[in-house]
């Protein structure tokens, strides 16, 4: 039986996902990608998620349920700060169905993740936000989140990742 975690909002509970939630997780990922105008970038499959999340345990998923219906999720994993000498929790995705927004659900999920970070002796909780997503930016700032304006995210993927990896052996 799935362990439900009570929240301050009536009829809203959280739980950690299990392998049976893989189709739901993929559906949420696709909904989020559609919202972020990035649907064409989703190449994840149920098989890949099952392996990454539940076999190799590379990340964890928290599911939010309102009146016993899944209405959102957060996908997290641990990173590490050498300066702090402690792990952190990185929030890869936070998604709440549009019809459920404005009820405090996102704040409750973030508060749960903050509590989890403290329980796990993490030094921080962090995430990225798209520059155009003004509603989310405003929301995050109201929570006390600070944008890291002095930092630029760099990414190596696809062909560039393959090319860089070949530099090791050639």
- At residue 91, the pLDDT reads 98
140 catalytic per annotation: yes
Rounded distance, CA 113 to CA 120, Å?
10
* Residues spanned by the domain of 9: 5-169
* 2 pLDDT tier (thresholds 50, 70, 90): confident
- Annotated catalytic residue, options 90, 95, 140, 154: 140
- The runs of H, that is alpha helices, within 36-133 are 46-49, 105-119
pLDDT digits over 76-109, tens only? 999 999 999 999 999 999 999 999 999 999 999 9
User: How many structural domains is the chain composed of?
Assistant: 1
Phi, psi of 91 (to 5 degrees): -95, 105
């Amino acid at each position: 039986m799935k362990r439900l975690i009570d929240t301050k909002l009536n009829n809203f509970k959280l739980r950690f996902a299990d392998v049976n939630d893989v189709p739901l997780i993929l559906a949420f990922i696709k909904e989020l990608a559609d919202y972020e105008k990035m649907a064409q970038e989703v190449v994840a499959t149920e098989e890949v998620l099952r392996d990454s999340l539940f076999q190799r345990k590379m990340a964890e998923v928290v599911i939010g349920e309102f009146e016993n219906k899944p209405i959102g999720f957060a996908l997290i994993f641990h990173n590490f700060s050498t300066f702090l000498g402690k792990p952190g929790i990185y929030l890869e995705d936070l998604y709440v169905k549009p019809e459920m927004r404005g009820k405090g659900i996102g704040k409750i999920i973030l508060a749960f993740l903050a509590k989890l970070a403290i329980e796990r002796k993490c030094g921080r909780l962090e995430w990225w936000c798209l520059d155009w997503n003004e509603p989310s930016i405003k929301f995050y700032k109201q929570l006390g989140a600070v944008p890291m304006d002095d930092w630029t995210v760099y990414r190596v993927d696809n062909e560039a990742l393959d090319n860089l990896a070949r530099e090791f052996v050639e």
